[in-house]
Amino acid sequence: MSVQLDAQGNLRHLLTTEGLPRELLTRILDTAGSFSGVIGKSVKKVPLLRGRTIINLFFEPSTRTRTTFELAAQRLSADVLNIDVASSSTSKGESLLDMLRNLEAMQCDAFVVRHADSGAAEFIARHAAPGVAVVNAGDGRHAHPTQALLDAFTIRHEKGALEPLTIAIVGDILHSRVARSQIHALRGLGAGEIRAIAPRTLQPRGIEQLGVRLYEDMDAGLEGADVVIMLRLQRERMRGALLPSEGEFFSRYGLTEQRLERTHPQAIVMHPGPVNRGVELDPRVADGPRSVILQQVTNGIAVRMAVMSMVLGGQGEAAPASIEEVAG
């Protein structure tokens, strides 16, 4: 989707990880790496986006995701404004465009968009004024690119190179924008082998064409994996009776200590959060030594800082590291 790159191949919007060149994906992770040092300090702030205005435009409520974007923006010294749009007022495409035109006229620099409809972020990006950037914070079942990038960052940080790794994604692949974005990001970064483990009813058609190996049996799918990514069971996204019960889901696809033994001895366990303990993960695994779930959260801030600074003009230069620059 070329709308997200400019003529020089720089990131103009972040709508999806699909089709992003490997060099650009790597640049995002490298930039995030430089911010990671900043946010570990007591003064967790750089003046990169001072005087820029970022609007969190949430058509679907998500305190958790909004918080991560708001923190990332604050740490870049941007001005942030939260606008929660009642879902009722978004039924007419025309009034959505009117709202965008108005916010653009107020000289806003970027929109972070969360929407229940697939394609909403791209729609907004296609209609945005030339200087305005759009970051997709989750659109329907389509994409959640910052989540996928923070996952890729976490894997690279914990494991080094992605090429030799076998990565298993487990759960409701069919309805998951997170899984979709992860597969594109990991594929794009050259991950060795990607496996999708799901009951037949939750396997999307044609996923093998993305180079993913499908497993219905969890034990087989976990065999030798270096990374296990558990998806969150989105109860509200499940249509009809695709699964008999949470209990049965756990017994077939829940990650227990016993199942974890099938993976590589240094395998890491990931989850986008919040974890439904006892549904996707045994609490002992969620809180165990293999879990990097909280590191994902920490890395999420750095990755969102990287994305926002890049779409707003800084294409991957390192973050200022000295306290003098920070105090600017």
Residue 44 sits in the site that holds a second copy (CB under 8 A): yes
- Per CB under 8 A, which region of 43-51, 166-174, 175-183, 203-211 contacts a second copy? 43-51
Q: Which is nearer to a second copy, 168 or 312 (CB)?
A: 312
Contact between 172 and 196 (Cβ < 8 Å): no
Residues binding a second copy: number (CB under 8 A)? 49
Q: Shortest distance, CB of residue 300 to a second copy, whole angstroms?
A: 8
- Using CB under 8 A as the binding rule, whether residue 327 contacts a second copy is answered as yes
Closest CB 130 distance from a second copy, rounded Å: 13
**Binders in 162-181 for a second copy, by CB under 8 A:** none
Q: Is 147 annotated as a binding residue?
A: yes
Residue from 296, 307, 328 nearest 134 by CA: 307
Closest CA to 296 of 230, 222, 197: 230
Give the residue, chosen from 269, 300, 305, 308, that forms a contact with a second copy under the rule CB under 8 A.
300
In angstroms, the CA 262 to CA 259 distance is 6
* CA–CA separation, 183 and 307 (whole Å): 19
Report in angstroms the alpha-carbon separations of 318 from 24, 76, 154, 250: 14, 13, 19, 43
Q: How many CB atoms lie within 10 A of CB 136?
A: 30
Q: Which of residues 49-108 bind a second copy (CB under 8 A)?
A: 50-53, 63-64, 67-68, 70-71, 74-75, 79, 81, 83, 94-95, 98-99, 101-108
Positions in 265-284 near a second copy (CB under 8 A): 273-275, 277
CA–CA distance, 123 with 128 (Å, rounded to integer): 9
Between 22 and 101, whose beta carbon lies closer to a second copy?
Answer: 101
Cα separation, 172 vs 159, in Å, equals: 25
C-alpha R_g of the chain: 20
> Can you spell out the DSSP letters for 72-128?
HHHHTT-EEEEEE--GGGGSSHHHHHHHHHHHHHTT--EEEEEESSTTHHHHHHHHS
Shortest separation between residue 273's beta carbon and a second copy, angstroms:
6
Q: Which lies closer to a second copy via its Cβ, residue 242 or residue 326?
A: 326
Provide the β-strand partners of residue 111: 55, 134
From 57, 112, 301, 303, residue interacting with a second copy (rule: CB under 8 A): 301
| Sequence ranges of the binding site for carbamoyl phosphate | 64-65, 114, 144, 147, 273-274
Where on the chain is the footprint of a second copy (CB under 8 A)?
39-45, 50-53, 63-64, 67-68, 70-71, 74-75, 79, 81, 83, 94-95, 98-99, 101-109, 273-275, 277, 294-295, 297-298, 300-301, 313, 326-328
